[in-house]
Structure 1
Amino acid sequence: MTAAILVALLVALTLAYRWRQTAAAEPHYTTATVGRGTVATVVVSSGTINPITTVQVGTYVSGVIRTILCDFNTQVKAGQLCAKIDPRPYQTAVEQETALLETARAQLVKDRANLDYTQGVDQRDAALLQRGFLSQDAADSARNAYRQAQAQLVFDEAAVRQHAAQLQAARINLGYTDIISPVDGTVVSRNVTQGQTVAASFQTPTLFLIATDLTKMQVDTNVSESDIGRVATGNAATFTVATFPDRQFTGKVTQVRQAPQTVQNVVTYDVIVSAPNPELLLKPGMTASIRIVTSHADNVLRVPEQALRYRPASLTGAEAGAPGGPAAQLWILADGKPRRVAVVTGLVDDSHAEIVNGPLREGDQVIVSESAAHARAAPASRPGLAPPR
């Protein structure tokens, strides 16, 4: 009787030990709930924020800057005076051309009077020649003087027009000494100081940079050739800047430029994203981290993207199957065990995958990862020794 009790007790202890070992070896599954939401594929890039339209205000004439009337952040109107170049050399040129024009006009009046005189002499001598009171040579000399007077009058009229044009050019140059704003906007750059000499002989210097409207900005970003095929005009975009890391700005792709840029054998294309800036939070020159939404699906059945990559550790690669693809597979938790489910996926973004077809329903639990369960009881540590790590 005693031996039977001992055997039963030994069997019970053995079964309990095996049960504990099996329970300790069972993995722990992490699941996620199947739900509905938006799945969007994006192209990630970085770029620089700039005003949509920036006007360079330069000078056509050279000289010394006498007055500066516009500075950084100055709100200007079209036609507003921003700077003044010393006008005295150009005023002198205007006065000189005015005097030359007056001289040419006076010469014209003088030669017109001479024309009238030579015309009268020519007519009188022609009449005397017909009556025989004047030689042919004298009559020809009077006719020659008359024709020369006619030519001189034409020359004087041309000289008057020439000096009038030179006077107009001198007045235009005098007007260019006033540096005015061609548009309404905000001065974002001033490259000149009072007393500085500017030279416009070979290249027009830029004195001011005026942004027409800072409430509308654009992001100039470079997209690699591997992603440019998915970007199109009208794509929505979101971006952040370093100074507002928790705020997301929105925009829209307005231009995909066809000119490639190659830097160290890397080909990129310039993409322009327009964005509103009503609060003037975005400043020219800021760096933006931008996400361009190339396609999206709203209110679709979706699962975490990690669920597509999960495979039970106990299965081999052939048994688990290949992850992803149009005909993919997921694993759901059924009665504590993983069960394979074949699905057809659509769009896949960084966090979720669209389920186009399959037996999944809202509320199902899909497995996203697993971890080995810890033993129910840890072995006791010996006194004086550090516990095992």
Structure 2
Amino acid sequence: MDDPASQRPSLTTAQNLGLGKGQRWWRWLRWLLVLVVVAGIGVGVMVWRARASEAAKPQYETATVGKGNILVTVSVTGKIESVDAVEIGAEVSGKVDEVLVEFNDTVTKGQELARINTEQLDARVKEVRAQAAVAAASLLSAKATAAEAKANVQRMKSLADRGLVSQKELEAAVATGARAEASVAQANAQQVVNAASLESAMSARDKAIIRSPIDGIVLSRSVEQGQTVAASLQSPVLFIVAKDLTAMVLKVDVDEADVGKVQKGQRATFTVDAHPGKTFDAEVKSLKNVPTEGQDVVTYEAELSVNNQERLLRPGMTATATIITSERKDVLVIPNAALRFTPPDVIASSATTQAGPGGPLPGFAAPRRPGGTARPAGSAGGGRQKGPGQMGRVWILENNAPKSLRV
């Protein structure tokens, strides 16, 4: 029989051989896992690079060429004012006894607006009338004296012809008659003075009643009952009455760079904050030649006539206006952005060469910017535009690549 002790080395060797085989499989499994991870990372990097390369490509925004109207405009701001607004003041001083109208009241020509106390004015009228009465009495007395002196002269001449009075006495009588006639003339002049004084006093009393000089609407009232007005140096403005609010005027300041484009009769549109979304029509009524200078800015005032039949506009409103200085109808139109676009590769190449006489090439298809929108055809743009008869360049897409096109 075999010795059991002699079989132990064989069993130990078999066990060792089994343990080594398992370790080898585990080692191969670990290397396989490492290779899978490395391959996954490589694939991820390749995908990321592909996506980054795709994202780096420029995205172009295109627009369809069509027909439409092109407007050349000038933007201005100003205020709306009433037409034929009249400032009504007081020509006499005194306390205001009554105020007879309120804001927005419709008044007629000659209608009473307010009354100023007339106690002193009435006293002045009475005083002047008394002076006129005294002057009238003085005139009668002077006439009587003149008649008496004239009769005395005739009598003295008759006596002098018969030698009954001396020449000296005759001359004295003639001089007395002349003085009497002068007194009559003086009394007549005083009558004229008194009549003028009475007329002035009565006119002043009549001016104590403030009346409307026109038919219209009360825009402003700056006086209250019991208030004292003083018209000694300057007539205080008590009321402002506008003739009609259905026709108004928009006064705007035109920059000196645009004044050559603006002419009488041009159409305009404007908006006001009080009515968002609503556009009003206007027309250039006049353009002043006298400039307005301020802070190194020179402007010229233009007046635009406005139809306010709907009564939506009020004096003093701030308006933003657009004056149409030129218009082309039914022509090919493209966005202004297309005239300013240049592909990035063209910009890069032109940076190393001398710029041509036309400057940077204008473009048609602009890269899309986050949140940006294309300008509609005919809208205002800041780029330099070609003049009439000059060639320009736009860009179109062929196979997703920009291609220049002369226009």
Q: Report the TM-score range of the alignment, normalised by the length of the smaller protein.
A: 0.7 to 0.9
Aligned residue for 1:140?
171
* Aligned counterparts of 2:162 and 2:54: Cα–Cα separation in 1: 150
Aligned residue for 1:306?
337
Task: Give TM-score scaled by structure 1 length.
Answer: 0.79
- C-alpha change, 1:25 and 1:171, in structure 2 (3 Å) is closer
- C-alpha change, 1:129 and 1:54, in structure 2 (3 Å) is same
Aligned residue for 1:255?
286
1:50-95 deviation digits (Å, cap 9, x = unpaired): 1122110001111111110111111111111101111121111111
- Structure 2: which 5+ residue stretches go unaligned? 1-46, 351-358, 363-384
Question: In the TM superposition, what are the counterparts of 1:1-389 in structure 2 within 5 Å?
Answer: 27-316=58-347, 322-323=361-362, 324-325=385-386, 326-334=390-398, 336-343=400-407
Task: Give TM-score scaled by structure 2 length.
Answer: 0.75
- Structure 1: which 5+ residue stretches go unaligned? 1-16, 344-389
1:316-369 deviation digits (Å, cap 9, x = unpaired): 4557952243321112234554332111xxxxxxxxxxxxxxxxxxxxxxxxxx
Identity between Structure 1 and Structure 2 (%): 37
One-letter code of the match for 2:404? Answer: R
* Aligned counterparts of 1:84 and 1:156: Cα–Cα separation in 2: 37
* Aligned counterparts of 2:243 and 2:194: Cα–Cα separation in 1: 40
- C-alpha change, 1:108 and 1:24, in structure 2 (3 Å) is closer
For the 8 Å contact 2:341–2:361, the answer to whether it is kept is no
Secondary structure at 1:252 match in 2: strand
For the 8 Å contact 2:272–2:318, the answer to whether it is kept is yes
Secondary structure at 1:202 match in 2: coil
Secondary structure at 1:274 match in 2: strand
TM-fit CA distance, 1:228: 1.7
* Aligned counterparts of 1:25 and 1:147: Cα–Cα separation in 2: 120
* Aligned counterparts of 1:73 and 1:321: Cα–Cα separation in 2: 59
- C-alpha change, 1:290 and 1:24, in structure 2 (3 Å) is closer
* Aligned counterparts of 1:87 and 1:285: Cα–Cα separation in 2: 36
Query: As a proportion of its length, which structure holds more helix?
Result: 2
- C-alpha change, 1:189 and 1:103, in structure 2 (3 Å) is same
* Aligned counterparts of 1:199 and 1:28: Cα–Cα separation in 2: 75
TM-fit CA distance, 1:24: 7.4
- C-alpha change, 1:333 and 1:157, in structure 2 (3 Å) is same
Secondary structure at 1:56 match in 2: strand
* Aligned counterparts of 1:120 and 1:241: Cα–Cα separation in 2: 88
- C-alpha change, 1:194 and 1:316, in structure 2 (3 Å) is closer
1:28-60 deviation digits (Å, cap 9, x = unpaired): 443222111111111112111111221100011
* Aligned counterparts of 1:206 and 1:60: Cα–Cα separation in 2: 10
Aligned residue for 1:373?
none
TM-fit CA distance, 1:281: 0.7
Secondary structure at 2:121 match in 1: helix
* Aligned counterparts of 2:360 and 2:198: Cα–Cα separation in 1: 88
One-letter code of the match for 2:180? Answer: A
Q: Which has the larger radius of gyration?
A: 2
TM-fit CA distance, 1:25: 7.0
Secondary structure at 2:303 match in 1: strand
Secondary structure at 2:245 match in 1: coil
* Aligned counterparts of 1:321 and 1:99: Cα–Cα separation in 2: 93
TM-fit CA distance, 1:245: 1.5
**Which structure's relative contact order is higher, taking Cα pairs within 8 Å and 6+ residues apart?**
1
For the 8 Å contact 2:342–2:361, the answer to whether it is kept is no
